[in-house]
């Protein structure tokens, strides 16, 4: 039996079709992942379609979007003779909607061109295990999406409706003041990741000047979650290569420059997972008042009424923050409902000393132990924490 299983595994490796015209990138990818997968490369989308017509045993297509992914994906959708194969896109374009055409039904994930090798390895390992599981005779069912418990959901609907009816005059006054205070829309919506990695539009009263999202990258040094960054060493090799007195043994090529993969991973891991700023210059005069009183959060009552969120839970994160929390220990925070307030807000909010690791642990703790009693206690503590002194 063991011999038959070994033969089966050898006979059916995990096959990846890599669509990339840069031979150097192909070789680097093969060196990094050849122990896990069997890689075949083609230079463009037309060649990929032709290869799939002749070779139906492909488990994954890894596609460089710079080569024109829409033609390839439309070709997959229009052809009845091509196998249904999942696609992972390499792209630096933000905010890709996997449910929109031409991605829907084919694209399962997207990674930046300078992807972290460990992150892609985790994704490949999952797909390999999924294939092995199905080959063993198991049926792979699509898991049901996580849902807010019935009692918690009933509480959310009743309370959100009551509050919206009571504060509707306040909402109208705030909307008028925002219009007079600065140019731009009254409401601000952003893509957030909530329960079970569900992406939805979260609503707030606008508290920032228009175009503030573009300023985020230039403000990284002001992030309260950032630790003091170390100066980059003059020697671009890791300690192992320096001690052996050899050239870099694990080179990566980004922006036409060679960098050490070990040092790159170390730098990526040191980056803060969350963003929050003290005395944020992007905030308007009225916005500071709305934030300090948490009035800017009131439109999220509509999110609660729709079922996107709950009153108490873990804060839904922007997509660029959520994609950093994909390991098992971090991802568990998404097992809890997304919330207007939560355990982190009532214990650490406004404290500049809080680290992103502390915040994650509080989120995971809530995901493990949340209950109606816990939610009521957090709601009571939230009322005390609404008038905060820190402008964060």
pLDDT digits (tens, 9 = 90+) for 283-342: 888 988 998 888 998 999 999 999 999 999 998 888 777 766 765 566 778 888 999 888
Specify the range with the lowest mean pLDDT, choosing from 4-8, 150-154, 201-205, 243-247: 4-8
Please, which residues have CB within 8 angstroms of residue 52's CB and are 6 or more apart in sequence?
17, 58, 61, 76, 82, 83, 85
pLDDT of residue 10: 44
Which tens digit of pLDDT belongs to each residue from 102-111?
A: 777 788 888 8
Contacts 24+ apart (CB under 8 A), 229-238: 229/270, 236/260, 236/263, 237/263, 238/262, 238/263
- Rounded to 10 deg, the angle between the 45-54 and 69-78 helix axes is 30
What is the reported pLDDT for 41?
92
Interval 139-146 mean pLDDT: 47
> In this model, does residue 122 exceed pLDDT 70?
yes
pLDDT at 361: 83
pLDDT band at 205 (very low <50, low <70, confident <90, very high): very high
Top mean pLDDT of 36-50, 134-148, 316-330 is at 36-50
Asked if pLDDT for residue 3 goes beyond 50, the answer is no
Give the position of tokens 């079922």. Answer: 307
188 versus 102: the higher-pLDDT residue is 188
Higher pLDDT, 27 or 219: 27
Per-residue pLDDT at 214 exceeds 90: no
**pLDDT band at 386; cut points 50, 70, 90:** low
Least reliable range by pLDDT among 90-94, 167-171, 174-178:
90-94
Q: What is the pLDDT of residue 133?
A: 64
pLDDT confidence of 248, banded at 50, 70, 90? low
Sequence-ordered alpha helix ranges (H) in the chain:
2-11, 23-33, 45-54, 69-78, 117-135, 150-181, 239-244, 261-270, 285-292, 300-306, 319-322, 328-331, 343-348, 356-369, 372-385
Task: Check residue 227 and report its DSSP letter.
Answer: P
pTM listed for this prediction: 0.49
All domains of the chain, ordered by start, with CATH? 13-135 (3.40.50.2300), 161-213+273-385 (no CATH), 239-268 (no CATH)
Phi then psi for 248, rounded to 5 degrees?
A: -60, 125
Give the model's pLDDT for residue 360: 81
End-to-end CA distance of the chain: 61
* Structural tokens at position 247: 């050239």
What is each CA distance from 20 to 104, 115, 284, 337, in whole angstroms?
Answer: 22, 15, 46, 40
Hey, is 208 helix, strand or coil? strand
Q: CA–CA separation, 120 vs 213, rounded Å?
A: 27
Measure the CA–CA gap between 369 and 120, rounded to whole angstroms.
Answer: 31
> How far apart are alpha carbons 146 and 163 in whole angstroms?
26
Q: How many CB atoms lie within 10 A of CB 39?
A: 19
Q: Decide if pLDDT at 33 tops 70.
A: yes
Average pLDDT, the chain: 76
Question: How confident is the model at residue 211, as a pLDDT?
Answer: 60
Of 43, 39, 44, which Cα lies nearest the Cα of 17? Answer: 39
Residues 56-68 have a mean pLDDT of: 87
Question: Residue 30 region, left (φ>0) first, then alpha (ψ -120 to 50), else beta?
Answer: alpha
pLDDT(69) > 90: no
């Amino acid at each position: 039996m063991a011999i038959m299983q070994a033969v089966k595994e050898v006979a059916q490796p995990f096959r990846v079709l890599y669509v990339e015209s840069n031979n150097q990138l192909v070789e680097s990818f093969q060196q990094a992942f050849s122990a896990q997968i069997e890689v075949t490369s083609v230079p463009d989308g037309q060649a990929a379609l032709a290869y799939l017509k002749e070779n139906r045993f492909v488990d994954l297509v890894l596609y460089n979007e710079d080569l024109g992914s829409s033609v390839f994906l439309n070709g997959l959708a229009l052809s009845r003779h091509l196998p249904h194969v999942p696609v992972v896109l390499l792209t630096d374009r933000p905010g890709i909607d996997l449910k929109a055409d031409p991605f829907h039904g084919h694209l399962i994930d997207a990674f930046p061109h300078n992807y972290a090798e460990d992150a892609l390895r985790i994704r490949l390992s999952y797909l390999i295990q999924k294939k092995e599981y199905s080959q063993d005779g198991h049926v792979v069912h699509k898991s049901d999406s996580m849902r807010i418990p019935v009692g918690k959901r009933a509480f959310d609907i009743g309370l959100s409706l009551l509050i919206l009816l009571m504060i509707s005059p306040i909402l109208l006054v705030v909307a008028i003041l925002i219009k007079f205070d600065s140019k731009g829309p009254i409401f601000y919506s952003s893509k957030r990741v909530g329960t079970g990695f569900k992406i939805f539009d979260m609503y707030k009263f606008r508290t920032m000047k228009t175009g503030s999202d573009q300023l985020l990258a230039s403000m990284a040094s002001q992030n309260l979650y950032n630790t003091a960054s170390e100066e980059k060493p003059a020697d671009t090799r890791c300690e192992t290569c320096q001690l052996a007195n050899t050239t870099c043994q694990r080179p990566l090529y980004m922006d036409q420059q060679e960098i050490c993969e070990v040092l790159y991973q170390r730098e990526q891991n040191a980056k803060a997972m969350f963003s929050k700023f003290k005395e944020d210059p992007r905030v308007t005069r009225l916005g500071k008042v709305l934030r300090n009183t948490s009035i800017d959060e009131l439109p999220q009552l509509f999110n609660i009424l729709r079922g996107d969120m709950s009153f108490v839970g873990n804060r839904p994160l922007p997509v660029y923050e959520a994609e950093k929390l994909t390991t098992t220990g971090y991802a568990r925070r998404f097992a809890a409902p997304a919330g207007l307030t939560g355990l982190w807000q009532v214990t650490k909010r406004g404290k500049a000393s809080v680290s992103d690791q502390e915040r994650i642990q509080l989120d995971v703790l809530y995901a493990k132990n949340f209950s109606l009693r816990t939610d009521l206690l957090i709601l009571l503590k939230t009322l005390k924490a609404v008038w905060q002194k820190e402008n964060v």
